[in-house]
Amino acid sequence: MVSKKKNTKTTAAGDGGVAEYEQSREQRIKENLLRMQKLGIMELSRNLKPVKPKPKPKAVRPQKPVVTSADEPRRSSRIMTIPTVSYSERPIPKEKVKKDVKIVIKDGSIPEVYTEEHEKMLGDHKEPWIVGVDGYDDEGNRMYDAHDGKSCHQCRQKTLGLRTKCLKCKTVQGQFCGDCLFQRYGENVEEANANPDWVCPVCRDICNCSRCRRVKGWEPTGNIYRKAKYLGYKSVAHYLIHTRGPNGKQEDIEDLPTDEEGEPMDDKDDNINDDGKQLHDKDDDNLDEDGKHVLVEKSIKPHDQMVEVAKWVGQNKSE
């Protein structure tokens, strides 16, 4: 009992001592803070705090070039003079192969021949026409309109967009849309409309639409603009007239064998009658291997034959 009481008194005395020390310590802290506030030290400490710098981006180290076995020095004196063999797979550049483009048009009932007058009727343009813009919506579709649209003689589509006006015929047959006029005849519709003396291809007798060609006894050409452009022609009309005119590339005649006088000849003599004129053969349809029309007359020269056919076509038109 005595020992317990002594311990209790000692603990109480110890607690009182600690409490007095803590109180005096807190009092000193408060006094120091007041002095610092009066002197402005607190604000200075806040202003002098260093601002944390932004992290710098990591520098990208350049990759070291990979040293292949071909670039490494050869230490062996035996193979030092021998050229090194590279086993790395390097792409071999492909050679540009020019496409062999051929345009095949079926033969009609009458040979397709053009004269120098047709060459003079070919048109041209100063500024190229952008295809697929005029008369098209934002999605690239043609805008058909039965009320406000105008028909095109070439494609026969009643759509919105520019149309030509012919000085000579002044009818619907002189209306061509911009795309057809540029691709089929190499002309700009804006330049044509700016020219008051412009005449349509129909009146110039160079129209190559399917309807006009069938009237002349020729088969339609189909969509051959890209091939004609690839071969270096401005339009379909330039290709047809330049290859089938008097100064054109008569490839089908030059490929034929010639006789002693230099005239083109054909092995099938059964196709020639007593007058030296060509007879129609249903088996080969007068086509060579490339599908081109072959002239097999012996008594008439190719140039004279084209002149005779042109005269015959002109007489029928006048009638």
The string of pLDDT tens digits covering residues 152-178 is 999 999 999 999 999 999 999 999 999
Contact 145, 95 (CB under 8 A): no
pLDDT at 133: 93
Residue 156: partners with Cβ closer than 8 Å, 6 or more residues away: none
Quote the DSSP letter at residue 269.
Answer: G
Least confident of 37-41, 145-149, 201-205: 37-41
* Residue that the structure tokens 């520098």 belong to: 59
Q: Where are the alpha helices (DSSP H) in 159-249?
A: 178-185, 189-194, 210-215, 225-230, 236-244
264, β-bridge pairs: 258
CA distances from 196 to 12, 89, 125, 154, 309 (A): 124, 65, 16, 21, 34
pLDDT at 309: 53
pLDDT at 296: 35
Average pLDDT over residues 141-154: 92
- Selected residue with higher pLDDT from 213 and 266: 213
How far is the C-alpha of 209 from the C-alpha of 297, rounded, in Å?
A: 30
**Per-residue pLDDT reduced to its tens digit, 174-196:** 999 999 999 999 999 999 999 99
Report residue 63's pLDDT band, with 50, 70 and 90 as the boundaries. confident
pLDDT at 237: 95
pLDDT at 226: 93
pLDDT at 127: 93
278, β-bridge pairs: 272
How far is the C-alpha of 228 from the C-alpha of 208, rounded, in Å?
A: 14
CA distances from 22 to 11, 35, 219 (A): 17, 20, 117
Tell me the two tokens of residue 4. 């317990």
Average pLDDT over residues 91-101: 75
**Per-residue pLDDT reduced to its tens digit, 283-313:** 333 333 333 333 333 334 445 555 555 555 5
Q: Is 302 exposed, middle or buried (0-12, 13-18, 19+ CB in 10 A)?
A: middle
Q: Is pLDDT above 50 for 279?
A: no
Q: Is pLDDT above 70 for 271?
A: no
What is the reported pTM? 0.50
The one-letter amino acid at 70: A
Q: What percent of the chain has pLDDT over 70?
A: 66
Q: For the chain, which residues make up each domain, given as ranges?
A: 99-246, 250-319
- Based on C-alpha coordinates, what's the Rg of the chain? 47
